[in-house]
Amino acid sequence: MPLTNPTATVRELIREHYATLTQSERKFANSLLENYPAAGLASITIVAENAGVSTPTVARMVQKLGFKGYPHFHKSLLKELQAKVSGPTQRRDNWVSDAPESHLLNRFSQAVTQNLSQTFSNVDTESFDRATRQLANTDGRLYVVGGRITRALADYAFTHFQAIRQRVTHMTSSSATWPHYVLDMVEGDTLVIFDVRRYETNLQNLAKLAAERGVVIVLITDQWASPVASEADYIFNCWVEIPSAWDSNISTMMLLEALIAATQEEKWPETRDRYERLDQLFDHTRLFRKFS
């Protein structure tokens, strides 16, 4: 029997054919509906056993539903699951309205959306929260360092963390000077390392030296993880692939900003005070226009 409706979900197919199902076939159908779709994603043997029926019963029933055999049924269920999970991601409301789909901006936005989504869903919340508390801890110094490309992110991090808390240091990207900083690192200090591919050997050495001195290391890296990971206490992976010769750091930036926002929230009363004083200083120097 061909599929009456090739786009129907298995659930719908079962409803549709329920009347023609035999007793033990219904037993399986119920078992599947009760735990949908997981109860149909194992092997026919296991699935049958869980439903309390024999394997031929299951095989016959899926054929009744219009599938060629159990594997066909299995594949169909899987596809449904896939569609459900990737549903929101596929939603492309980020298109640039007046450009064709193939315009770079649209290709780019799609890749970026994908990356952000991946990055977000791979953050371990608990780890994030603990890292935040560590970053807010002003008992120790906070060091920030980046590589060739990520230097800019380290700089951005520095600027913001400096506004939030005291005792922040940006280690310049010239690795020759790093030992000078390490000299003063003590237990309880925090070192934020940005390292995306191509990973820099110097950063790994730095991490090792810092770890030896009891410094807590927060690593922000790409999805493949820098070798620094072996020394790091907190690791955040950012998806960075875009259709281009280099890697995107938008998700890296997002993770960084999220960390900054969380740290700020953690230290709020103190931070507000700092912001106000900073504002007064700006007013005084008249370097900036008042925002209107």
| Residues of the shown chain interacting with DNA in the complex, contacts defined by CB under 7 A | 22-25, 43-46, 53-57, 59-60, 62, 68-72, 74, 289-290, 292
Site residues (CB under 8 A) for a copy of itself, limited to 229-258: 229-230, 235, 237, 242-246, 248-250, 253-254, 257-258
In the complex with DNA, the residue whose CB is nearer, 71 or 214, is: 71
Q: H helices of 99-164, where? A: 104-121, 125-136, 151-164
CA angle in degrees (0–180, nearest 5) for 231-162-203: 25
Q: How far is the CB of 118 from a copy of itself (least distance, A)?
A: 7
Q: Say which entry of a copy of itself, DNA, none residue 271 contacts (CB below 5 to 8 A, set by partner kind).
A: a copy of itself
Q: How far is the CB of 245 from DNA (least distance, A)?
A: 18
Q: Say which entry of DNA, a copy of itself, none residue 33 contacts (CB below 5 to 8 A, set by partner kind).
A: a copy of itself
Residue 146's SS3 state is coil
Q: How far is the CB of 90 from DNA (least distance, A)?
A: 27
Q: Are 48 and 28 a contacting pair, CB within 8 Å? A: yes
In the complex with a copy of itself, the residue whose CB is nearer, 11 or 60, is: 11
Would you count residue 172 as binding a copy of itself (CB under 8 A)?
A: no
Residue count, binding to a copy of itself (CB under 8 A): 99
Q: How far is the CB of 60 from DNA (least distance, A)?
A: 7
- Relative to beta strand 216-222, strand 190-195 is parallel
In the complex with DNA, the residue whose CB is nearer, 30 or 271, is: 30
Site residues (CB under 8 A) for a copy of itself, limited to 114-143: 116-118, 120-125, 128
Would you count residue 44 as binding a copy of itself (CB under 8 A)?
A: no
Site residues (CB under 8 A) for a copy of itself, limited to 58-117: 74-75, 78, 81-82, 85-86, 88-89, 93-99, 103-105, 108-109, 112-113, 116-117
Would you count residue 49 as binding a copy of itself (CB under 8 A)?
A: no
Q: Say which entry of DNA, a copy of itself, none residue 69 contacts (CB below 5 to 8 A, set by partner kind).
A: DNA
Find where tokens 């079962």 sit. 14
Site residues (CB under 8 A) for a copy of itself, limited to 148-167: 148-149, 151-153, 155-156, 159-160, 163
Q: Say which entry of DNA, a copy of itself, none residue 151 contacts (CB below 5 to 8 A, set by partner kind).
A: a copy of itself
Which residues touch 180 (CB under 8 Å, ≥6 apart)? none
User: CB atoms < 10 A from the CB of 167, how many?
Assistant: 15
Query: Residues in the chain, how many?
Result: 292
Q: What's the CA gap between 86 and 66, in Å, rounded?
A: 26
Q: Are 241 and 115 a contacting pair, CB within 8 Å? A: yes
Element (H, E) at 258: helix 250-266
Q: What order of strands is seen across the sheet that includes strand 142-145?
A: 168-170, 142-145, 190-195, 216-222, 234-238
Contact characters 195-234, a copy of itself, x per CB under 8 A = --xxxxxx--------------------xxx-x-xx----
User: CB atoms < 10 A from the CB of 188, how many?
Assistant: 13
Q: DSSP string spanning 76-98?
A: HHHHHHHHHHHHHHH--TT--TT
